[in-house]
Amino acid sequence: MRKSKRTVKSLLTELEKTGIASNACSKLSIARSTYYRWYNDDIDFRMAADKAIEAGRANMVDFAESKLVQNVNEGNQRAVEFYLKSNDSRYRSYHGRELQEFKDILEDRNRKDFASLESIPRILMDMIPSETLIEIFDLENQPNIEKSDKDFAHDIEKAIGMRYLASILNRSKRSN
């Protein structure tokens, strides 16, 4: 099939309904191989299709949730159980609760690990004697040296970061 603006627009409109490429293609009598060829060869089409698929999936989730609520309102036992298990940990199985607890523990550990990583530059700064920092960064010849300790430490951290970045860039230039 030839790719025209009208065909592409119709295809994207169908994708926005369900987010399923095969459904959209079959409705418009477009071979799936044609769709994937367009998808792989045309970056603009790919971006538009991805956006339409995302919208379609959101539409289907909204539709499915409305049907679930409708079934709950009608007293459908399976729908009630599914809704409760999905939305309240008290109704999840033991393994489901255990999994959620494990996830919470990992998130907490990661938060603590990242917090400790952020403190490394300050710890390093505390370990380097002031005299050495003054020599390394030629701070005696810098204007406005009379700053608060906090500003001074921040300036040093920035300088160390810039020197480190420059050394990394120099290494990568040498290796190329």
Residue 87 has pLDDT above 60, yes or no: yes
- How far apart (Å, rounded) are the C-alpha atoms in residues 11 and 61? 20
CB 30 within 8 A of CB 7: yes
Whether 121 shows a pLDDT value over 90: the answer reads no
| DSSP symbols for 7-52 | HHHHHHHHHHHH--HHHHHHHHT--HHHHHHHHHH-HHHHHHHHHH
Q: Are the C-beta atoms of residues 160 and 120 closer than 8 Å to each other?
A: no
How does DSSP classify residue 119? Answer: T
Structure-block tokens of residue 161: 């970061």
User: Does the pLDDT at position 175 exceed 70?
Assistant: no
More confident residue, 96 or 38: 38
Convert the pLDDT of each residue in 127-171 to its tens digit. 777 666 666 665 555 555 455 555 655 666 666 666 655 555 555
For residue 144, what pLDDT is reported? 52
pLDDT (0 to 100) of residue 57 = 95
> Stretch 82-90: mean pLDDT, rounded?
83
Element holding 99 (H helix, E strand): helix 94-118
- Token digits for 165? 């970045």
CA distances from residue 150 to 5, 7, 53, 157 in whole angstroms, order as listed: 60, 62, 50, 11
2-57 pLDDT tens trace: 889 999 999 999 999 999 999 999 999 999 999 999 999 999 999 999 999 999 99
Q: Which residue has the higher pLDDT, 14 or 107?
A: 14
Task: Please report, for residues 38, 124, 154, the alpha-carbon distance to residue 119 in angstroms, rounded to integers and kept in the order given.
Answer: 49, 9, 13
Beta strands in 64-114 (DSSP E): none
Q: In the prediction, which pLDDT does 104 show?
A: 85
The C-alpha atoms of residue 31 and residue 122 are separated, in whole angstroms, by: 60
